[in-house]
């Protein structure tokens, strides 16, 4: 009996020691596992945060680069359009000036030709009239002289004086009439031609200026509308890209956080299950051993 009791006591002591060792080992292992899990979770979270930050930085840099490129392109297009408009306007103005100068030169040449023709015609007419008048006067004078000298028998000196006076008067009157007519006609023609030329030139210049102004205004309006549309499109595109990037980043962060939390919970639950099973097994063994010792000692 003493031997049996000793054996049982030794067995119980050994079992208790083993149980204590197992419990200590389990606790240490659980703590190590928990620490490892925590470290892994922290590392995963840090990596996720770093990745998210890198993605956000890259996306922001890309968006900024795109915006800068678009702005540069818009500025270049606007500058090119403005330069083209200025060049076109300058070309139109030069062409208009050349056309106006050519028209003025042609009109002046035509006016000069017309005036010269009119003057020549008038001079020819005047010369013809003067010649005719002089011939008529000479004929009349000769007839009168003959009649007076032959029929009337008047003194030749008197007749010559009278004839000279009459001829001078007739010539002076004819000259005055011719000069007046020529001056009036030439002045009228010149005035009419000058007025017509001035009116034509003024009308041409006004029409050209109006056309150029209308073209410039239309081009400026088109350029302004294009610039406004491009700026609005750029702003809208940038806003949409920023919103999409923010939404994607938020969704990715949320998904990563949910996955990490679920994994942590699963690991903790598994560890707790293992601990509970080990503790229950140890408790059952201890209870069985105590019952056996009690039965043996009682017997």
**Spans of the chain, pLDDT less than 70:** 152-156, 290, 293-294, 296-299
Q: Are 96 and 207 in contact (CB under 8 A)?
A: no
pLDDT score for 171: 76
In whole angstroms, give the CA distance from residue 293 to residue 5.
Answer: 8
pLDDT score for 118: 78
Q: Which residue in the block uniquely carries the two structure tokens 């020691």? A: 17
pLDDT score for 298: 67
Two structure tokens written together for 157: 């000196």
pLDDT score for 39: 84
In whole angstroms, give the CA distance from residue 280 to residue 84.
Answer: 91
In whole angstroms, give the CA distance from residue 100 to residue 106.
Answer: 10
Residues constituting the chain: 299
Two structure tokens written together for 2: 């003493």
What are the residues whose beta carbons fall under 8 Å from the beta carbon of 22, sequence distance 6 or more? 278, 282
Q: Which residue in the block uniquely carries the two structure tokens 């800068």? A: 68
Q: Are 34 and 270 in contact (CB under 8 A)?
A: no
In whole angstroms, give the CA distance from residue 203 to residue 221.
Answer: 27
Q: Are 231 and 71 in contact (CB under 8 A)?
A: no
pLDDT score for 183: 72
What is the residue-wise DSSP string for 169-217?
HHHHHHHHHHHHHHHHHHHHHHHHHHHHHHHHHHHHHHHHHHHHHHHHH
Q: Which residue in the block uniquely carries the two structure tokens 């702005």? A: 71
């Amino acid at each position: 009996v003493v031997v049996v009791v000793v054996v049982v006591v030794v067995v119980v002591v050994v079992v208790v020691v083993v149980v204590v060792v197992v419990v200590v080992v389990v606790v240490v292992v659980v703590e190590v596992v928990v620490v490892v899990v925590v470290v892994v979770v922290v590392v995963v979270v840090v990596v996720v945060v770093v990745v998210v930050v890198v993605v956000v930085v890259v996306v922001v840099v890309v968006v900024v680069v795109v915006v800068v490129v678009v702005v540069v392109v818009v500025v270049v297009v606007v500058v090119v359009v403005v330069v083209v408009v200025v060049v076109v306007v300058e070309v139109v103005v030069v062409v208009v000036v050349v056309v106006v100068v050519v028209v003025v030169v042609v009109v002046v040449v035509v006016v000069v030709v017309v005036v010269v023709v009119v003057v020549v015609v008038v001079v020819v007419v005047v010369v013809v009239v003067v010649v005719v008048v002089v011939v008529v006067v000479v004929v009349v004078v000769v007839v009168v002289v003959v009649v007076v000298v032959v029929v009337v028998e008047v003194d030749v000196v008197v007749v010559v004086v009278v004839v000279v006076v009459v001829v001078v008067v007739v010539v002076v009157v004819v000259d005055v009439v011719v000069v007046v007519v020529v001056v009036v006609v030439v002045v009228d023609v010149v005035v009419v031609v000058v007025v017509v030329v001035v009116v034509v030139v003024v009308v041409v210049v006004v029409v050209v200026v109006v056309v150029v102004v209308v073209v410039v205004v239309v081009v400026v309006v088109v350029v302004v509308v294009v610039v406004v549309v491009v700026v609005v499109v750029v702003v809208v595109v940038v806003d949409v890209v920023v919103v999409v990037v923010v939404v994607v980043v938020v969704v990715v962060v949320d998904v990563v956080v949910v996955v990490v939390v679920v994994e942590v919970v699963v690991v903790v639950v598994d560890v707790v299950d293992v601990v509970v099973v080990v503790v229950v097994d140890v408790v059952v063994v201890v209870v069985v051993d105590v019952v056996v010792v009690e039965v043996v000692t009682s017997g």
